[in-house]
Structure 1
Amino acid sequence: MDGTVGLRVTRKERLASGVVGLRLEHPDGRRLPDWTPGAHIDLVLPNGMTRQYSLCGDRWDAHSYRIAVLREDGGRGGSVHVHDELTEGALVRIGGPRNNFGLAPANRYLFIAGGIGITPLLPMLAAAERLDADWRLLYGGRSRDSMALLDELATYGEKVSVAPQDECGLLDLPAWLPEPDDGSKVYCCGPAPLLDAVARACADWPAGSVRTERFVAERVADVEDRSFRVELARSGRSVTVGADVSILDAVRDAGASVLSSCGQGLCGTCETGVFRGEPEHRDAILDDAERARADCMFICVSRSRSERLVLDL
């Protein structure tokens, strides 16, 4: 994958049942690119798989990155490889960091994490604490043994509410959330049922006050894909995108050089500017206001509502 950097696994440790942490450093001890809370990297494994993981270490540590990997035996194989094959001393390649889940200014922050969804939120807590902001965290998981980073969260005292499902049942969001107001922002990361529950609980909150990040793409409602035309503004080329072909594949076949990673509209690598036309957004990144502007799209999954799209390619 173009644009990647080779790093070494300098530490591998158990963070919880089914969760391992990796510390990554440059083999020559060089400074790593800066990042902000909510950022993720593309991890390119020795077997060729590429997966996205949130950075959950100290953003002020210029020489190492930390990620946490949940083992998913029913997944696509990347996490199993990390758990079973990747060892300390191994070399991996990384792309990024990129941030589609940045921490915006607010008077108060309400963080909600489910399972491994704690990883992008942990640096946000540190940032909020450094800013002396008003914040609280609600953290759920199957059991305490499966919930990573509890020891680090304990340092925040009563600001953190830990609610394992086997002790407390499902998270009681209506009871925990305050009344909506313009000065508060909700940040949530976790499994789809949790994100859906947060969306329902925050339905009356002001637009733009709730931010979520998904590790798995939402299922697109059954729609009949159709073909359309894409024009590449830089080269002047035009290509037909068939009903069973992604824009990404079509423009690559037409000679455009576009980086991509996840192929699911999650990582943001393939973001492309839109000059004309109406995108049909199918990503899990843009919010409603960003979609309405129709000035960019993620071409690995999104399509076109109009007969023609003109892209910044």
Structure 2
Amino acid sequence: MSALCRLIQRGMCRSLPGQQDACGMASMVRTASSSSPVNLTYDVFDGKGESTPLVFLHGLFGSKSNFHSIAKSLVQRTGRKVLTVDARNHGTSPHSPELSYEAMAEDLKHLLAQLHIEKCVLIGHSMGGKTAMTTALTQSGLVEKLVVVDISPAQTTTRTNFRSYIKAMQEVKISSDIPRSTARRMAEDQLRSLVKERSVRQFLLTNLVEQNGHYAWRVNLEAIAAHLDNIMSFPAVETVYEGPTLFLGGASSAYISSDDYPEIQRLFPCADIQYIPDASHWIHADKPLDFISSIIRFLQS
């Protein structure tokens, strides 16, 4: 039986074009207060079972749609309700000048309260994995089980080229009133000099949106650039999360290394660390069946 997906958007989720300046394209403007949680947008895939729902959090430059096919499969195989969520400054969630793991954990707490979800199985990839860890460490009562996908509670700056990606995206210039396919080709051509990997360019281009003939990035590049060092780091947290935890790495990725094991075990004493063969940082895209099987085994353990 196929999953019933319904999109429910709450709060300030209408996309408006940003102002274009001399540097190229601006981000879409959906501003929220920096001092309070934002109303995150999300998709719900309804299961018939009564078990704890699964909540997926995407990585930097990602969106809730990254996990749609995974979510549909997990509904079919487990009967659980599955939510995929857009982080602040990503997807169709509101923009905010603040971008920290503490703020994103508060956003998630706010969303779960709105939906009357008292506990969830929290599954986060990369930046979303750090948000999931922060939530588990600071709001442990909300998290029945935790899955952290190809990231650790350690500094990741040396392993990434995100600063150059941001620069490339900020310098893109696209004419108005041209077909989307043409705009996408123009954007990819301009990204190519700083973003060498085609798969990464394609991933970044999922953020290119059009409204009323104008093209812009839906991610808040200004906030991401301003807080990139914090995003690559991890909050100093004194508490531990003692619930069942799975760290799921890609065997071809360097994001979870043996150097990280002591800190993982300190903060998450019940953690199990596993790797999926022949998978890169984007495990769920490279090896979706293995990824789903690992999640199901963890749910059943």
- Please confirm whether the aligned pair reaches a TM-score higher than 0.5, indicating the same fold: no
Q: Which has the higher strand share?
A: 1
Q: Which has the higher helix share?
A: 2
Q: TM-score, normalised by structure 1?
A: 0.28
Larger gyration radius, structure 1 or structure 2:
1
TM-score by length of 2: 0.29
